[in-house]
Amino acid sequence: MTAALPQADQGTGGGGRRHGRDLREFARGGAIGLVSSVIAAASGFLLTVVVARTLGVAEAGVFFVVVALFTIVAEIAELGADTGLVRTTARLRALGRVDELRRLMIVSHVPVVVVGVLCSVGAYLAAPWIADRFVDPADAGTAVTLLRISAPFLGLMALTRVALGGTRGLGSVTAYSLINNVLLPGARPLLVGLVFVLGLGAAGVMVAWTAPIAASFVAAVLVLWRMVPRAEAGHRPGDATAGAATGEAGTRRGSTGREFWAFSGPRGVAAAVEIALVWANVPLVAMLVSSEEAGVYATANRFVSTGTLVLQAARIAIAPQVAAMLARDERDRAGHLNSLATRWVVLASWPIYLVLASFGPFLLALFGEGFTGGAVTLAVLAGAMLLALGAGNVQTVLLMGGKSSWSLANKSVALAVNIVLTLLLVPPFGIAGAAAAWAVAMLIDTVAAALQVRYLLGLRLDVRRVAVTGLWALAWFGLTGVALRTVLGTSAPVFVLYAVVACAGYAATLWRLRHSLGGAEFLGAVRNRGARQGESA
């Protein structure tokens, strides 16, 4: 569901034109981001199925532990420069300072190159030590092999994400979406499937998982290399007036690096904490219980990641716009756009998590019988995501408002809570305890960010309309799922019946309410996205 446009938006005044332009920008970016995110989610799901079927529960657990550690270290190596480029590039363009873009690209990438090389070398050398601490002794040899195969790609992964952050800040949702959400995740299940056919084992699976990173790196750098001169050439001389009016245009070039790293430094730490919050429980479960249980937990967590595709699409679409609006102190406009995006996130995401919570046993059986024990874990994770997604893109708004230090504080507290609760709850409750720990930590992070956006940044969220959207999803996908599961069980025919009834009822409800939901305006903006580009900030 989306926020209905106010009456003023449909008029001919300046506010109406601005909201209409914002809607076109969000619709264009959101549509592209959503399609690519669906591809990424489907690819990630397929990859998990193929890995689970190829390696079995124990070796799949080792693989996912290595993937978790790789993801955390790669995020650390980015130093926050990916998000920093989205925000700073959008700000420079909005304030007429495009002459600083080239320096910004150098300032942002060079430290990442250095740290990336150090991380790759360190991971390769420390592989035996890491394996001894995070996997079962019987699987240590496999873990060392996988760690050393993946280590050289750590720096490339970090640089790829930073370069893609630059393309987003320069206004290209398409480049980011095609490379990060189509090329990289799409190639992985295809290559792992080939490994399965050839019978190459865990080492072959890791090669298949890491190889697409190199192709993505080359593509991202080439696209960014072409976009910077175009942004400079497309700059209108009159645009600098806005920067001068706010005192920004006279800023020395030397301030670009300080401005960038003052934001990106805390963001880099926060991003590392954030990714650790997502992945840390996989190696912790392996350490506290077994590699097999870590594989089950990681598989359930894969479902949760798949469901965030709409949130990712909205984030990709609104981040540069929100950064530009807040740079111009257009808080009402930024709040309106955030409310619009949040309603669409809830409308499209809540059904996914309600399905996961209702029919977890059936869905986990797709990976093999050894994974069905994660049904309770999946339900707990899905329930936490329902509440987190109800807050929408508060994390993105906080970052685009320049408050990376606030984000760091929130996520540090959340990670500490997660680790402590995981250590306390996993021994008596297993992976369900790990899920509960993660759920509490996620809610702490979300509530803190939501309060900061509302009361410190001053952006309002239309809570009533978001709640109404969620209630319709809860009625059709939650109550219907519980009723059918209680009466008929979780077999494949029951799941098909559930999907048909819930989807048909939900679609009919949304169609009936389409005018109050602003659906006509949104779909019209998607259809017309090529006719008018609007402001690319």
> Domain ranges in the chain?
32-235+253-527
Could you give the CA distance from residue 30 to residue 382 in angstroms, rounded to a whole number?
Answer: 23
Could you give the CA distance from residue 225 to residue 433 in angstroms, rounded to a whole number?
Answer: 47
Could you give the CA distance from residue 519 to residue 515 in angstroms, rounded to a whole number?
Answer: 6
> 219, 88, 106: which is closest to 164 by C-alpha?
219
Could you give the CA distance from residue 394 to residue 392 in angstroms, rounded to a whole number?
Answer: 6
N- to C-terminal Cα separation, the chain: 25
Please, what is the angle between helix 375-390 and helix 291-306, to 10°?
30
* pLDDT at site 522: 52
Could you give the CA distance from residue 214 to residue 225 in angstroms, rounded to a whole number?
Answer: 17
The single residue listed with the structure tokens 């049904």 is 375
Mean pLDDT of successive 10-residue stretches along the chain, which has 537 residues? 36 50 54 71 85 86 93 92 85 78 88 95 96 88 96 96 88 82 91 89 94 95 88 58 45 67 84 86 91 89 78 75 83 84 86 92 85 91 92 86 85 94 95 96 94 88 84 94 92 94 93 69 48 37
CB of 282 closer than 8 Å to CB of 297: yes
Could you give the CA distance from residue 441 to residue 439 in angstroms, rounded to a whole number?
Answer: 5
Helices within 79-200 (DSSP H only): 81-94, 101-125, 127-134, 140-150, 154-169, 173-178, 184-198
- Element of type H or E holding 510: helix 492-512
Quick one: 256 exposed, middle or buried, by C-beta within 10 A (0-12, 13-18, 19+)?
buried
- Token digits for 361? 């046993």
Give the number of other Cβ atoms within 10 Å of residue 247's Cβ: 9
Distances (CA, A) of 420 to 7, 58, 78, 94, 120: 50, 26, 27, 43, 29
Rg for the chain (alpha carbons), in Å? 23
> 55, 60, 62: which is closest to 142 by C-alpha?
62
* pLDDT at site 323: 80
> 265, 259, 229: which is closest to 92 by C-alpha?
259
Contacts of 174 (CB under 8 A, 6+ apart): 32
CB of 44 closer than 8 Å to CB of 26: no
DSSP character at residue 530 = T
CB of 242 closer than 8 Å to CB of 59: no
* pLDDT at site 234: 62
* pLDDT at site 191: 94
* pLDDT at site 529: 44
Could you give the CA distance from residue 380 to residue 467 in angstroms, rounded to a whole number?
Answer: 21
Contacts of 330 (CB under 8 A, 6+ apart): none
Helix count and strand count (H, E) for the chain? 24, 0
* pLDDT at site 175: 84
- Token digits for 285? 């479960």
Could you give the CA distance from residue 91 to residue 528 in angstroms, rounded to a whole number?
Answer: 26
DSSP 83-111: HHHHHHHHHHHHTT-GGGHHHHHHHHHHH
Q: What is the pTM (predicted TM-score) of this model?
A: 0.75
11: left (phi over 0), alpha (psi -120 to 50) or beta: beta
Q: Return the C-alpha torsion angle 272, 455, 438, 68, nearest 10.
A: -20
* pLDDT at site 355: 93
